[in-house]
Amino acid sequence: MVTTVSRTDDVRARAEAALARSGVELGAVKGDALAARTPITGAELFGLRADTVEGVDRAVEAAHAAFLGWRSVPAPVRGALVKRFGELLGEHKEHLADLVTVEAGKIRSEALGEVQEMIDICDFAVGLSRQLYGRTMPSERPGHRLMETWHPLGVVGVISAFNFPVAVWAWNAAVALVCGDTVVWKPSELTPLTALACTALLDRAIAETGAPAHLNQIVLGGAEIGERLVDSPLVPLVSATGSTRMGRAVGPRVAARFGRSILELGGNNAAVVTPSADLDLTVNAAVFAAAGTAGQRCTTLRRLIVHDDVADAVVERLTAAYGRLPIGDPFQESTLVGPLVSEASYARMRSALDRAVEEGGTLCAGGERQLAEAAPGGYYVRPALVRMPAQTAVVREETFAPILYVLTYRDLDEAIRLHNDVPQGLSSGIFTADQREAERFLAVDGADCGIVNVNIGTSGAEIGGAFGGEKETGGGRESGSDAWRAYMRRATNTVNYSGRVALAQGVDFSQ
C-alpha cells in the first residue's frame, strides 16, 4: 500500500507555523548559510543562518559564565526550571511533532512519541533534582566521617543526530540542568528547525522561572562547528550521538584534553527467535523494530536469528507483513513507513542489498523505491527482508536503512555466538516461552549488549532505564537509572571530629 505525498509549499507552511507558535522569530534565524530541507519531498524549505567557529567559542564562554552562578542554585530550584520546560513541551507537543515530521520524516505517531520522551525525561529529572545522593562510608579511623559528594561538572556539549532530533538532546539537557550544568547544543545540520523550536521554549522557561540566561546555547552548522565544540577546554563533557566513524573522531579528541565523553554510536541489533516463541507476538514486534522510522534508528532490528524449526514460518509471515506496510507521506495517519532522510541513504541501502545478494543472500521482500513520480526528490522504499546463509561481511556492518537479515541456528549457544559476533553492542532481544532460554540470554555469557530484552523488540527504550551500549556502540549511558553521575564530579570527603590526628592504615608520623 502506497499513500500520497504533501506538496513542498504545504510542508513549508506547516514548518513556519510550528516555528512561530513555538516562539521562534523567523526573521532572526533565516539566512543563506544552511539549508532547511524536508525528506518528505526532498526540497529545500528555506535558508538559515549558521554559526562560525568564533561563534562556538562565544556560545561556550556564555554557557560557562552562566554555569558559575547556576552551580550554586539548589538542585530542587534547578528542577523548577526543568518542570516548567516540560509543561511548555506539553503545550507545544503538536507543533514540535510537526517539525520532527517535516525534518526527519517520522510518521505522526513516532513524532508525537519523540516529543513525549522529552516530557518524560523532564518529569524524571525533576524527581532527580531531590535525589542526587552521595554515600557515607564507615571510616577505619575513630572520630572520622567518610563520605562522597557530587558537584556540577560544567558546560556539557551535546551533538545530536537527525533521527532523534529532539529527544536525545532532552535526555542530556534535562539531566544536565538539574545537575547544575549548562549546555551547548550542536544539532544535526539536517534538523536545525526542531532545535530552534526547543531552544525557544527552553529560553521561555528560563525567563519565566528567573533562571540565569544562556543556560542552553545552540550552534548551527556542519562538522567544523562540532569539532570546535569537541576541542573546547571549557567543555568538560561531550555527549555525542552518531555513527561509529564519528565516535572514532570525537572520542580521542576529547580524551586528548582529558575531557569526558558519552558516546552513543552504531547499533547492529539482533533478536533470537526460539522454537517456543509466540510467532504472532514475534512478527509484530520485529516489523516495528525493523521498519519503524524507515529503519533509521540506532536500535533498529537489523538481524533476526531464527531457529531452523520455525525459520520458514517466520520468513513467510514477515514477507506478508512487509507487503502490507503503508508507505508514504508521514503526515498521513495511515502511513507506517515514511521516507529515508536523503538520496545518499537510499544509495547505501541499495549497495548493501546488492552486496547481500553477492554474498549468497536471497531477497524475500522489499528494497524497491516507491513514489518516485509523485516525489522525485523523496526517497521512499519498501523495507527489505533478506535471508542469509551465514553472517557475512555486509551483515556485520550497520546499514542505516530498513534491511532485516534473517539467519538460522540449531542450538541456543550457536544463536548467542551469532548474536555477539558483530562489532556493535547496543540493543538485543530474545523471543521465547522458555524461562531457561530467557535467563541464559540475560546471563553474563549471554547477549553482550547494553540493552537486553525478552519478548520485546530492540527499539522502544524507556526513560527510566539507562540507555547505551558496548563495544563500538561507545559505552556511554544517558537518560535514566544513575546516568546522572556522568554529568557531575565526585568528591570524597573526610571529616575529622576526634580532636587528634589519626592516619590511615595505622601510620605513625609523630616522631
- For 183, the grid coordinates are 549546555
User: How, if at all, do strands 466-467 and 478-479 pair?
Assistant: antiparallel
pLDDT attached to residue 470: 98
CA-to-CA distance for 260 and 246, rounded, in angstroms? Answer: 16
- For 467, the grid coordinates are 540507555
**For the residues 107-125, what does the mean pLDDT come to?**
98
The percentage of the chain sitting over the pLDDT mark of 90, rounded to a whole number, equals: 96
What SS3 class is residue 265? coil
**For the residues 348-361, what does the mean pLDDT come to?**
98
**DSSP H/E element including 439:** helix 435-442
Tell me the CA distances in angstroms from 328 to 39, 151, 404, one per residue in order: 11, 49, 20
CA-to-CA distance for 173 and 118, rounded, in angstroms? Answer: 10
In order of their start, the domains of the chain are: 8-265+474-491 (3.40.605.10), 269-462 (3.40.309.10)
Instruction: Give me the residues paired with residue 490 across strands.
Output: 150
User: How, if at all, do strands 362-365 and 301-307 pair?
Assistant: unpaired
Determine what percent of the chain falls in helix, strand and coil, rounding each to the nearest 5.
40, 20, 35
Judged against a pLDDT cut of 80, whether residue 403 lies above it is answered with yes
CA angle 333, 335, 336 (to 5 degrees): 120
CA-to-CA distance for 67 and 401, rounded, in angstroms? Answer: 40
Residue 134, amino acid: G
pLDDT attached to residue 511: 66
pLDDT tens for each residue of 289-326: 999 999 999 999 999 999 999 999 999 999 999 999 99
CA-to-CA distance for 9 and 97, rounded, in angstroms? Answer: 18
CA-to-CA distance for 107 and 114, rounded, in angstroms? Answer: 11
The answer to whether 466 touches 478, Cβ cutoff 8 Å, is: yes
CA-to-CA distance for 476 and 459, rounded, in angstroms? Answer: 17
Judged against a pLDDT cut of 80, whether residue 84 lies above it is answered with yes
**For the residues 29-34, what does the mean pLDDT come to?**
96
pLDDT tens for each residue of 162-212: 999 999 999 999 999 999 999 999 999 999 999 999 999 999 999 999 999
pLDDT tens for each residue of 450-473: 999 999 999 988 999 999 999 999
Asked about 358 being catalytic, the answer comes back as no
Dihedral angle at the C-alpha atoms of 338, 344, 349, 355, nearest 10 degrees?
170
Q: Note the helical H segments in 159-294.
A: 167-178, 192-209, 223-231, 244-256, 279-291
The 3-class SS string of 310-330 reads HHHHHHHHHHHHHHHCCECCC
Instruction: Give me the residues paired with residue 363 across strands.
Output: 386
Catalytic residue, from 103, 189, 264, 472: name it: 264
**DSSP H/E element including 108:** helix 108-128
- For 72, the grid coordinates are 550554586
Burial class (CB in 10 A: 0-12, 13-18, 19+), 375: buried
The answer to whether 469 touches 427, Cβ cutoff 8 Å, is: yes
Cβ count within 10 A of residue 276: 13
pLDDT bin (cut points 50, 70, 90) of residue 508 is confident
pTM of the model: 0.96
